[in-house]
Amino acid sequence: MNNVSMLLLVTALIVPTGVSASDRFAVQTEVTRSGKIVSTGTREVENGGIAQFSDGRFKETDAKVTTTCRSGLSRWLHPFKPACDEVVEKEQTPIGFIADITPRVMSDGRIGLVINGKYVLVLGDSSAESNGGVLHTANFRPVILASTLSIKIGEKAVIRSGPAQDEVVLTVQVDRL
């Protein structure tokens, strides 16, 4: 059997009739927390492509506080400046729903989904002493929403995570465009 015939045979076994590698899908997501919708989104993606979801929200916290104090002659030369200077470096932590979802047509015509996601909750703010300054931080709890599963076109996949009283539920539906 020549290479072309072998390639056609392998392709016929992997890709079902009527499906091409250039199939496009609409990946729809809905995230609920304690029964309330907190995020929704739709992304278009090709077969095997990655649909990226993000709420685009961030929580700003202090990453590092550096305190520099003047003493001796330097302190006396600058009597109207504070004795110490604080330099605060900030960081942005993504919060809310963040996920990469990959739909791929399987040989039986179903859609294989690889879901790597999380929902990041802000539990509260806190402050702590650091290098003579105050560091303002936050407490985060990521709720992991990850799975590999197979669904039919138009069928909804549901992933649940977290304690029952604060459960986070991700619903994913894939439709052909």
Q: What is the pLDDT of residues 87-135, one digit of tens each?
A: 788 999 999 999 999 999 999 999 999 999 999 999 999 888 766 677 8
The pLDDT tens digits of the residues spanning 20-37 come to 545 899 999 999 999 999
Which residue(s) pair with 28 in the sheet?
42, 173
Based on DSSP, count helices (H) and strands (E) in the chain, helices before strands: 2, 9
How far CA 122 is from CA of 60, 119, 129, in Å, comes to 11, 10, 21
Please name the residue that has the structure tokens 């069928």: 155
Burial of 145 (0-12, 13-18, 19+ CB in 10 A): buried
Is a pLDDT exceeding 50 seen at residue 17? no
